[in-house]
Amino acid sequence: MAERLSLKDYQRELVNRLKEAGSGRMASKLGMQIGAETWLVDLGDAGEVIPVPQVTPVPLTKPWFKGVANVRGNLFSVVDFPAFLGVGAVAVSEHSRLLLIGERFRTAAALLIDRSLGLRNPDQLRPRQAGAEAPPWLRGEFDDAEGRGWKELDMPQLVRHAEFLAVSA
């Protein structure tokens, strides 16, 4: 009988295999669909990406704060990331995902996103000038070979930002 692996062990093994594959350069960015925009986040800042579980609403909170979700016995606060950015709420479907914020931030928070777009190699992205009104959690903007624009999420800035932390209405 095959030995069972925990999800964390499986992800750790997968990351190690990605490091060893091909050129030895790891694709260290996760692509996400946020409304009509494409975003990137460092794999080191993301905990895991899971299908959307049942989310229990919390009264007297901002519209972008969807509530709390039980993920394997742990409660996570759920932020509708597109709604937080002001680009429209996620219409939850089979493609929607929760991006659990990395444990190192000790937030027990998750971002509700439209879909996960898989791993991206930062070597295949060209930096471009960010807009003058860029929020502090925008680390940079990039273009890929197909001309698609990407925004990179600065997770440490986001989880410390007063606007993100102020969920009460």
Q: Please report which confidence band the pLDDT of residue 15 belongs to, taking 50, 70 and 90 as the band edges.
A: low
Contact 84, 90 (CB under 8 A): no
Q: pLDDT tens, 16-25?
A: 655 555 444 5
Which residues share a beta bridge with 113?
97
Q: pLDDT tens, 56-84?
A: 999 999 999 999 999 999 999 999 999 99
pLDDT-above-90 percentage for the chain: 72
CA dihedral (41, 46, 50, 55) in degrees, to 10, reads: -100
Residue 1 lies in a domain: no
Contacts of 117 (CB under 8 A, 6+ apart): 30, 31, 32, 33, 38
Mean pLDDT over all residues of the chain?
Answer: 88
Residue 93 lies in a domain: yes
- How far apart CA 140 and CA 150 sit, in angstroms, is 8
- How far apart CA 19 and CA 36 sit, in angstroms, is 31
Residue 48 CB neighbours (<10 A):
16
> Which CATH number is 28's domain given?
2.40.50.180
Overall number of domains in the chain: 1
Residue 2 lies in a domain: no
pLDDT at 132: 73
What residues make up the domain containing 32? 7-165
Contact 104, 155 (CB under 8 A): no
pLDDT-above-70 percentage for the chain: 85
Residue 46 lies in a domain: yes
